[in-house]
Structures are given as structure tokens and as C-alpha cells.
Structure 1
Amino acid sequence: MSYRSELSLSQEYLSFRSSIPLRKIVVDSDNSKVWKLYDSGPKRVKVPLVCLPPVSGTADVFFKQILALSARGIRVIAAEHPVYWSVKEWCEGFRKLLDYMGLHRVHIFGASLGGFLAQKFAESTLNCPRVVSLILCNTFTDTSVFNYSESAALFWLLPSLVLKKMVMGNFTSFQVDSGIADSIDFMVERLESLTQQELASRLTVNCVSCYIEPQKLVGIPVTILDVFDEYALSNAVREEMYKFYPSAKLAHLKSGGNFPYLSRSDEVNLHLQIHLRAFESTGLSASQPASEDESVSTA
């Protein structure tokens, strides 16, 4: 790739890449299906925060969360899924990944498609709960908002260039501040790295007819993290989220665009810490108790 974004050339990103290895894990019988993840923070923590990216994202889009939160003793895993063509297949794959890693319960921070899949996974494990809590960022409850339900079944046929244009059409086109502009550049770079199959399968899962059943998620603590400037989803989608989770905590950012975990990472990290703090004195904490702080490095 000839072009490199400001963020991927930053000292922070280079430090992240040199200190935290990319793990590749196969949990399906098909050896070509490889989960890619970064696992940082104290490994003795068995209820980590798992970050799930949007359609255009790879696991490293959460590098700012990984660095900041693991330095505070929180175990953070950013996971990027292999090619799955349905929500059901994704949920099954994610469950196998957690089983493989010995993680019976997790907190999930999901962005856009990642947030939708987090909700579906919580639904699918209703009878044997695996999701302790959800932080949902710029996400949705019904795929019909994308108006591609009819054509989604044909995405696997479309060339990479067409699929990439579909995704980039949702990126902000008007004048933005440098933080948001840098976040868009970084995400475009990530998008360029995806294969046709990876992108087609993600868009299929994102757009094929599917919706959340909120009655199955009652009792799961939720924080809704959203921005008030322009981003890919409409206000109606945001209002629907609030309706689905009337007791959710609301974490509002004045601005941040589509990717606030990159463009407004300090604010997002603060909201993540506030959300996770509620579990500190329970057996479901994502962090190591202060008394065990000897090795709170990015192990």
C-alpha cells in the first residue's frame, strides 16, 4: 500500500504494533476461517472487554482503547472475524472463539455492525448468558435502515471496487476537523486492506433482513455511546436505539463522526471506564484489582 495515513504513521500506533502481537485463531472446521485479534492487559482477568469493529474496520481500529485501558489494568481484546455469511454463523463462530480462549463471560464494545452483532450474540446466548454488558457505539437495531435487504444476497458477486464505494458513500464528505479527517483516512486504509470476500460477507451480514428483539436483552446493562454531529446513521435510528433500551446509560459526544473511538479516543475511553467501573467490586470485573497491580502492563 503506497499511501499511509497520519494515524498509521503515528508513534502511538507504531508502539501498539510493536508491543502487542496480532493473534490468529481458527475455531471452525474450515481452516481458512481465521479470527484475528489483539489481546492486551492482565490475562488473569477472565471477563474482558471485547471490541468489535464496523464493516470497514480491522481489529487494530481500537488501538487507542487497547493502549489506554490496558495501562489501567483492564483486559481488552479487539477481535476481527473471518468470512461469515450470516448472523447465525457469526454468533456460532464468536461463541467458539470465546470457548477456545476460556472466556465464559465478556463485556462487549461494538461499533456499527460490531454493535449489531454484539446485540445478536447476547440474544443467541440468552439461555446461557455470555454477555455481561454492552457498550453500543453509532449502531442500529434493524438492518432494514440500509435499504439493501433485497440486493444483499448478490453482494458476493460484486467486485471489490463497487463494494468499497458502497461503504465509502457513508463516510463524511463535508469539512471536518483534523481528528475526524485522520480517523476517516485510517479507516479508508483499513477498508483497502480487506479482500472481496471479507467485504462482501460483512456487507451481507450488515444488510440482509435481521433485527434485534429487545425483550431478550432485558437485564443486560447497556451504555449507548453516540455523537451529535453528522455520521452514517439517521436520528430516527438513534431514537430507535433509545426506545429499545429505555434504562440504558447515554454517553453523548458533541462530535466525533463515524469513528469516535479514533477521533475522540480520550472521551470514548473515559466513558468505557465509567461503564466498566460498575462491575469492579463484582466477580464480573474487566480489570485486575488494585492490590494485584504488580504486572498491569500490556502482557
Structure 2
Amino acid sequence: MIYTVTFNPSIDYVIDVEEFEKGKVNRVTKEYKYAGGKGINVSRVLKNLDIQSRAFGFIGGFTGRFIVDSLKSQGVETDFIEVSGDTRINVKLKSKEETEINGAGPEIDEEALNRLFKKIDKLSSKDFLVLAGNVQKSLPMDIYSIIQQKCSHKAVKVVVDTTGEALIATLKFNPFLIKPNNHELEEIFNVKINSKEELIHYGNELKEKGAENVVISMASEGALLICNEGVFHASAPKGIVKNSVGAGDSLIAGFIASYSEKSSLVEALKFGAATGSATAFSMDLCKMEDVKKLLTEITITKL
């Protein structure tokens, strides 16, 4: 089974305004409401790929109920923990420029966190656990590492998608997969990266620090996989980018979906690249038919 953890879910409220004017009344031309959060995105895409998962996380209030109802209507299995306070709302304003306003979300107390730990303690070596997104200020910055330590003696395949020190702290527990992009690598190593060769260099450093597999997403330039079998590049298919939200989460979902069935890292890279691109070319998260159309356009090259 694949499990995802989203500490800070959201309602993603996406609105289109033809000509946004600051300080004036603006009329919305289109609006959409989605259950959001990186782990939730992974679960939603997995469902679209006919792979079952279970979404863990923390929800609260009327906004939290929207999250549960929305996911239930899509057939996504959930096992959320209720906390006091309301699940946050993130506003995505699309006009000539794209603007995001993200809510803070409720605090998570020790009792609620221990309830999550009890759920995670039941996982086994047959399971994948996706830890995705930033961590609220009410939680320890190394919470992902704490969870990994609980999983390490059971050989759970842990996937980590976060940034900065929170990511670095997880490497000592040998995550199965991490997925930084080029900007996140620059932040981690405090450098400016100007070439694919430099991306590979710093990706290898993360692997040497403990990550089993490193996927580096590069938007229109595709993705890199650094693993024990070598370094592989997946080309990016051509298309019009309509939605940048969730593309990285979709890459992870596609990668795990493929690997869980075929146990091939290279095939997983190809399927993940197609899934990430399919979401980028869609208004919402991709469907299986979108992914299949792009698979033939992706070339895998061993570097």
C-alpha cells in the first residue's frame, strides 16, 4: 500500500481574473476549488492512475470537511486526524501574472502527532510512505526524520519531498526517493547552478549523504534520475503549460505507481516524467489517458 502524509492540507481556491487591478473590485471569470497539499496531490494522482493509496494528515473545521468530502467523491481513501482550528485556504489568482496567497493552517499538538505515529507504526516493508510539503511552525523541523526513524527498522520505502534543512535531516535515514528541483538544490548548497553537469554533481552529493534515489525535476528540460544503476535523463514532451501546481507531486505519484508494479527505476522515471508533464498541461491533476498520450514522446538517455 502507498500512504501519503500531508501535515498542512488546504483548499486550493483557483480564480481567473482577466485584468487584475490592485486596490479595485475585480470580477472572477472562472473559479475552481480543489483538495490541496502535496501528499493529497500524490494520492489524487495515484487514484487517477488506478493505484490505491491512503491519505494521512491533519484537518479541522468546515474547510477540513470539504477536504474529506472532496477526496471521498474521487474515491481516494483517507485516514485524517481532526485537530482544533480550520484547515487553511490557499488562493491562486491567475491573471497576466500568477499570484498565490497561502493560509497558515491549524496547530498540531502532541496528542494529535502521537495518533499519527500509531498509524505509521503499522506500516511494513511492503509499503511506501510519501512525506511531502513544508512543516508547520508548531512541529519540530526534523519531524520527517522522526517519522523515518520509526520506519527504518521495518524497511518502509520512504519518499521525501521537502526543502532545505528539513530535507538534509532525512538523508541519514536513507530515504528511498527524494525529489529536489534545480532551485532547491541551489538553496541547499548555497550555489548558483548553471548546467546539467552541476545538477548531477549536487544530486550525487545528496545520494552520497544517504538518499537511495534522487530525481531532479527540471521543468521544460525534463528530469534526472541518479541511482545505483547510473544517471538517466528523461526528456520533456512538448505542450502548453496550463498549471504549474502539482506537477512535481504528479511526477512522484507516477514514479511510485510504476515502480510499485514493475520494480524498474528507469521505467519509473519515464512514467513519472510523463505524469508530471501531463499535469502541467492540464487545468487540474492529470488523468491516465493524459499520461499515456505523452509516454511515447519521452526518451530516456543514460548519461
Instruction: Give the TM-score category using the shorter length.
Output: 0.3 to 0.5
Higher share in helix:
1
Larger Rg: 2
Higher share in strand:
2
The structure whose RCO (Cα within 8 Å, separation 6+) is larger is 1
TM-score by length of 2: 0.35
